[in-house]
Amino acid sequence: METLAVNPTKIATKWAFIYLLVSIVITYAFEFLSIDQNSPAKYISYIPFIAFCFLAQKELRDQSGGYMSFGQGFSVGFRFGLFSGLLLAVFVFIYLKFLSPDMLVKSIEQQQVALSEQGMSQDQIDKAMDMGTKYGAIFGAVATAIGSLILGCIIALIGAAIFKKERTAYDIIESAQDPTI
């Protein structure tokens, strides 16, 4: 009986696409409900990210016969964070640049108020607003990619510690003696 090697990239990619779809739904739900970008509700999007990272790690362990090393768990979680960040960055860029540019304008206006409250001169504020108008979508996409990767690493470490289950010497001997295992 031939066993197939588990592909962590395939598992991570599957869960990253699912996370992307959920993130798109959450983004448009927030826009439809007119939820402020700076409200604490924005942290709701972290819940599916964490859940899908853990589900990717659990799927890897299940497909590996119930065993997974810490490194394997971290690897699939890291890949999930990387792929999620890249996919979400593409969506954020398209969303801010083409689908809903008014969201970028709202963000720039909020930033303008914050900068004026910090006591910056009008010339400095105008330069910052010009940069935000020209490159805001790119900055948003890059920040999303980097933030998702960092958060993915942290969650992957936690999930790998939770889901790891190393084979013991007894398990190895038992599986060698019983061909059905």
Q: Give the residue from 65, 46, 67, 37 showing the smallest Cα distance to 152.
A: 46
Q: What is the count of structural domains for the chain?
A: 1
What is the reported pTM?
0.89
Q: How confident is the model at residue 24 (pLDDT cuts 50, 70, 90)?
A: very high
Q: Measured in Å, how far apart are the chain's first and last C-alpha atoms?
A: 10
pLDDT of residue 1: 40
Q: Is residue 2 part of a domain?
A: no
| Other Cβ atoms closer than 10 A to 7 | 12
Q: Is residue 134 part of a domain?
A: no
Measured distance CA(144)–CA(45) in Å, rounded: 12
The residue-averaged pLDDT of 14-31 equals: 96
Q: How confident is the model at residue 36 (pLDDT cuts 50, 70, 90)?
A: confident
Measured distance CA(140)–CA(95) in Å, rounded: 10
Domain that holds residue 81: 8-97+145-177
